[in-house]
Structure 1
Amino acid sequence: MSMKPIEFDRRYGELDQVISAYVGLQADDAPGKQSEALQAYLRHTWHARPWALATAERQIREYARNPPGRLRLSLGEFYPVPDVGLPESAIQDWLFVIADHLKHSIEQGEVPPPSTPRTHWEWHARFPELGQLLGGWFSQDMPDEFPDHDAAVDDYIATTDPQLVARLKGELHELLALALEESDYALAVAELGMEVDPPRPYSPSGWLAHLADSLGGAFKADYGPGAAAD
């Protein structure tokens, strides 16, 4: 019988967040050496959810100490570690190394400085709503579904909770504040799921700025019946 979601999160929720950061990357952590994936997890989590680091360290260490047998895995009672490119015999030691890195980072207060995302996981962890827009409305099928980019954006606004639209605008401003090279903005929108080119004559950053400006009209303040009109 599969584990209930609340029980899964209590035991493995943050463990799963850490392991997800390794998708497509090397699990080459070693004593004194953090993998690119673990650096991305630490960089994002220290600034977004610092309290989760201790939970991750505990869950990973407990899992490494009590690895599941095949029967319990088949019953769905344990978290099955996805393929990270390591032989099964090396997984336990690797998990202990990760736990030790997390513990050291917490105890020493080693907070990575803010930085541009460097992995696919980190891009989506930092800009989740922008990833939702670009991956959901600007896939390669967009030209078949909408007459142009503005129509796709209008559909997103019409079908999305205004609070999420507001979050998207904040993420756009945060991304533009990184002041990246144009090639890096092209990489960013591709990492976040955009499979079509920006509309002419915009560059990737130009279109993101245009998108942020266009969202300004999506929010209308109610000043009350006694407010004076300008």
Structure 2
Amino acid sequence: MPMNPLEFDRRYGELDQVVSAYAGQDADDAPDRPSEALTAYLRHTWHIRPWALSVAEQQLREYARNPPGRLRLRLGEFYPVPDVGLPESRIQDWLFLLADHIKHSAESGEVPPPSAPRTHWEWQARFPELAQFLGGWFSQDMPDEFDDHDAAVRDYDTTTDRGLVARLVGELHELLALDLDEADYALAVAELGMEVDPPQPYSPSGWLALVATSLGGFRPDHGPPPGDAS
């Protein structure tokens, strides 16, 4: 019987975060150098959840020490490591190597320097609400669902909780503060799920700034009009 979500997170939740960082990336970690994927995981996790590093190290070692058999995998009682491009015979040593790199980073305080995201996982992890906005409202189906980009933005604005809208505005300002080249902003919106071009005549960064401005205004709740008993 598959594990319930709480049990899964207790055993494999942070392990899954580490392995998910390798989606589309090479698992080319070496004893003297973590891979680009693991560096992205360390950079992001140090920034928002440094306590999770110890959890990741523990879960990686425990899984490597007690790899699941085929029966328990079939029953859903273990985490099946996704294909990361390594032969099965190397997975155990690779997991131990990841745990060693994470332990070294946590104990030495060696943190990857701040930078723009460098992997798909890191873009999605760093800008989750922006990924929801661009992937949900600006997919390739957007021209069939909305008259134009402004209509899609208004739909997001009127159907989304105000706290999430505020979070999106903050993420937009954070992304713009990275001061990337325009080609890198085009890459950023693609990594975050946007499948249509910005409206003319805007560049990707210019359109993101426009969206941040249009969503960033405070809308006070004045309450019911005078004399309205409701």
Residue number in structure 2 paired with 1:63 = 63
CA RMSD of aligned residues (A): 1.3
Structure 1 runs, 4 residues or longer, greater than 6 Å off: none
Residue number in structure 1 paired with 2:45 = 45
Residue number in structure 2 paired with 1:171 = 171
Structure 1 distance, partners of 2:222, 2:47, is 35
CA deviations over 1:54-97 (Å, ceiling 9, x no partner): 10000001000000000000000000000000011110000000
Residue number in structure 2 paired with 1:76 = 76
Q: Which amino acid aligns with 1:35?
A: S
- Written as runs of structure 1 = structure 2, the 5 A alignment for 1:92-107 is 92-107=92-107
Give the CA deviation at 1:224: 9.1
Residue number in structure 1 paired with 2:181 = 181
Give the CA deviation at 1:195: 0.6
Q: Equivalent residue of 1:152, what SS?
A: helix
Between the two proteins, the alignment pairs up a number of residues equal to: 224
Q: Which amino acid aligns with 1:200?
A: Q
Give the CA deviation at 1:111: 1.6
Q: Which amino acid aligns with 1:71?
A: L
Give the CA deviation at 1:175: 0.2
Structure 2 distance, partners of 1:27, 1:63, is 17
Q: Equivalent residue of 2:30, what SS?
A: coil
CA deviations over 1:158-189 (Å, ceiling 9, x no partner): 22111111000000000000000011100000
Structure 2 distance, partners of 1:216, 1:184, is 24
- Written as runs of structure 1 = structure 2, the 5 A alignment for 1:16-165 is 16-165=16-165
Give the CA deviation at 1:112: 1.8
* TM-score of the superposed pair, with normalisation by structure 1: 0.95
Structure 2 distance, partners of 1:223, 1:49, is 38
Identity of matched residues, %: 80
Give the CA deviation at 1:216: 2.0
Residue number in structure 1 paired with 2:227 = none
Structure 2 distance, partners of 1:196, 1:81, is 34
Where does the alignment leave 5 or more consecutive residues of structure 2 unmatched?
Answer: 225-230
Q: Is the counterpart of residue 220 in structure 1 residue 223 in structure 2?
A: no
* TM-score of the superposed pair, with normalisation by structure 2: 0.95
Structure 2 distance, partners of 1:125, 1:59, is 20
Q: Which amino acid aligns with 2:187?
A: L
Structure 2 distance, partners of 1:206, 1:7, is 45
Structure 1 distance, partners of 2:216, 2:94, is 47
Residue number in structure 1 paired with 2:12 = 12
Structure 1 distance, partners of 2:78, 2:162, is 38
Residue number in structure 2 paired with 1:228 = none
CA deviations over 1:98-151 (Å, ceiling 9, x no partner): 000000000101122211000000000000000001011101110011000010
